[in-house]
């Protein structure tokens, strides 16, 4: 092999690997991305049943219902609209009524959201970022009351 051929092989294989990676990324991005919606989006956008997505909002106070065999239902609200979410399994430790959660799944024909994953990825001080933004958009942001007294000592220092 000449020097030129060697260089070409090297560059060629590099391009092939990169092309493979790009192709895989594009294919996967098309198929496996999940969009985030608030209950209001759900009503306004007329999303088809069976379309996978994430739904975020506050768990409505007093709406949590536990049935037989770990069946769970609760209402998810953003202040304007609410959606009933059905789930089977254990809720995360940080799940509380009145707090923000994100449910992943799809809406069924009867309009109920069938979740296979419930995320409450925050501690008691924080909201999931998407939920906070969605609530702000709906004008129901109460961030200051949700953030508890943690910031108090810092304020006295400033």
Partner 1 sequence: MIAELGHYALVLALGLALVQASVPMLGARRNDPVLMGVGGSTALAQFAFVAIAFGALIASYVRSDFSVVNVFENSHSAKPLIYKITGVWGNHEGSMLLWVFILALFGALVAAFGRNLPGRLKARVLGVQAWIAVAFELFILLTSNPFLRIPDAPVEGRDLNPILQDPGLAIHPPMLYLGYVGLSISFSFAIAALIEGRIDAAWARWVRPWTLLAWIFLTLGIAMGSYWAYYTLGWGGWWFWDPVENASFMPWLTATALLHSALVMEKRDALKVWTILLAILAFSLSLIGTFLVRSGVLTSVHAFASDPMRGVFILAILVVFIGGALVLFALRAPVLKQGGLFAPISREGSLVLNNLFLVCACGTVFVGTLYPLALEALTGEKISVGAPFFNGTFGPLFVPILIAVPFGPLLAWKRGDLLGAAQRLITAAAIAAVTIAVVFAVSPGGPVLAPFGIGLAFFVMAGALTEIVERTGVLKLPFASALARARGLPRSTWGGMLAHFGLGIAVLGIIGETQWSVEELRELEPGQSVSIRQYVLTLEGTTTRPGPNYRELAARFAVQRNRSLIGFMEPAKRDFPSRETSTTETALMRRGLSQIYVSLGELKPDGSVGVRIYYKPLVLLIWLGPVAMAMGGALSLSDRRLRVGAPKPARSKTALAPAE
Which secondary structure element, helix H or strand E, spans residue 84, and what is its range? Answer: strand 82-88
Which positions lie near partner 1, rule CB under 8 A?
Answer: 1, 3, 6-7, 9-10, 13-14, 17-18, 20-21, 24-25, 27-29, 31-36, 54, 66, 68-70, 88-91, 93-94, 104, 121-124, 126-130, 133, 150, 153-154, 156-157
Minimum distance from CB of 111 to partner 1 (Å)? Answer: 22
Minimum distance from CB of 127 to partner 1 (Å)? Answer: 8
Closer to partner 1 by CB, 145 or 156: give it.
Answer: 156
**Strand 113-119 with 82-88, pairing:** parallel
Minimum distance from CB of 77 to partner 1 (Å)? Answer: 18
Question: Are the C-beta atoms of residues 99 and 25 closer than 8 Å to each other?
Answer: no
Closer to partner 1 by CB, 110 or 137: give it.
Answer: 137
DSSP 3-state of 114: strand
Closer to partner 1 by CB, 110 or 158: give it.
Answer: 158
Number of other residues whose CB lies within 10 A of the CB of residue 78: 25
Minimum distance from CB of 110 to partner 1 (Å)? Answer: 23
Backbone angles phi and psi of 31, in degrees to 5: -95, -30
Gap between the Cα atoms of 124 and 99, Å rounded:
9
Which secondary structure element, helix H or strand E, spans residue 82, and what is its range? Answer: strand 82-88
Closer to partner 1 by CB, 90 or 142: give it.
Answer: 90
């Amino acid at each position: 092999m000449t020097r030129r051929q060697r260089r070409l092989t090297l560059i060629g294989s590099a391009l092939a690997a990169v092309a493979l990676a790009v192709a895989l990324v594009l294919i996967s991005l098309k198929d496996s991305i999940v969009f985030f919606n608030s209950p209001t989006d759900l009503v306004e956008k007329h999303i088809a049943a069976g379309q996978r997505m994430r739904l975020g909002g506050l768990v409505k106070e007093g709406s949590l219902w536990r049935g037989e065999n770990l069946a769970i239902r609760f209402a998810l609200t953003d202040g304007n609209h609410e959606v009933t979410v059905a789930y089977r399994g254990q809720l995360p430790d940080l799940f509380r009524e009145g707090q923000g959660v994100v449910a992943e799944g799809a809406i069924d024909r009867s309009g109920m959201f069938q979740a296979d994953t419930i995320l409450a990825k925050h501690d008691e001080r924080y909201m999931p970022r998407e939920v906070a933004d969605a609530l702000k958009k709906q004008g129901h942001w109460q961030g200051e009351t949700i953030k508890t007294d943690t910031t108090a000592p810092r304020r006295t220092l400033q």
